Amino acid sequence: MMNRRNAIKLAALATVAITSNTRAADPAPAVAPAPVAGNPPPVISRDYKVAELPYAFNALEPFIDEETMKLHHNFHHQSYANNLGIAIGKHMELNHKPAEEMLRHLDQVPEDIRTQVRNHGGGYVNHNIFWKCLTPNALREPIGPFNTALGKQFNLFSGFKEKFSKAALEVFGSGWTWLTMDAEKNLRIESTFNQDSPLSQGRLPLLGIDVWEHAYYLKYHNRRAEYINAFFHVINWKYVVERYEKGTLES
Ligand code: MN
């Protein structure tokens, strides 16, 4: 029979095992804080919804696998939306305000929720863009004036692919690599840490690749370069071009 001391030892070992299997940086699932006795329950804004994917969870196979898509969309993205809702619940005067607008003007967000809006609002908006940047019916490269502008800026489409891939590979830790546009329609490749949005730098993200481990680890393990290469097979250039042509930071 297991005595108490051994039971405690085993429990401690189990804790260590679980901890060492958990990759850092991904946020814990969002749950509303438990009401404290005597305090009213927290107000939670319900306005930040995660839209359904515009394709099936397995539609991007074999490039992005079904299980990753399900976890990424249903848990990670949902968690950012929930946590943003909890933050905005503390300032209901901001309810109904587009998250993009708050990210563009972080300095105007009340200080007590600014970090949450930056992190969870960023995660919410970044993933909204990310899903739309993907499609099972991808063109290999964009067409029209956008492709001309891209080629001019980065030395043909192949130059763009090479520079974008290199930037995505070099993100240290968790973050994103973006193709962005400024108010003068200048294109640039830039990376952001954590869930920071290029909107906070006054630039419009046109295309983004999520290089947090949760975006690729199940299928690609530590082989981020393979994931980046696979991403290029499922880019929705039609959506990217639409954002470029709309040409406004207000979108
Ligand atoms: Mn993600």
Together in a domain, 24 and 103: yes
From ligand 1's centre to the CA of 40, what distance in Å?
33
50 belongs to a structural domain = no
Does an H or E element contain 177, and which?
strand 175-181
pLDDT in tens, 157-215: 999 999 999 999 999 999 999 999 999 999 999 999 999 999 999 999 999 999 999 99
Contacts of 129 (CB under 8 A, 6+ apart): 205, 208
203 belongs to a structural domain = yes
From ligand 1's centre to the CA of 126, what distance in Å?
8
Between 40 and 191, residue with greater pLDDT: 191
Residue 26 in this model has a pLDDT that exceeds 60? no
Model pLDDT, residue 48:
86
Together in a domain, 230 and 121: no
20 belongs to a structural domain = yes
Number of other residues whose CB lies within 10 A of the CB of residue 132: 19
165 belongs to a structural domain = yes
From ligand 1's centre to the CA of 212, what distance in Å?
6
From ligand 1's centre to the CA of 151, what distance in Å?
28
From ligand 1's centre to the CA of 213, what distance in Å?
8
**By residue range, what is the domain housing residue 172?**
145-249
Model pLDDT, residue 43:
73
What is this structure's pTM? Answer: 0.83
From ligand 1's centre to the CA of 31, what distance in Å?
18
From ligand 1's centre to the CA of 37, what distance in Å?
35
What CATH number does the domain containing 168 carry? 3.55.40.20
Instruction: Give the 3-state secondary structure of residue 159.
Output: helix
Residue 55 in this model has a pLDDT that exceeds 90? yes
42 belongs to a structural domain = no
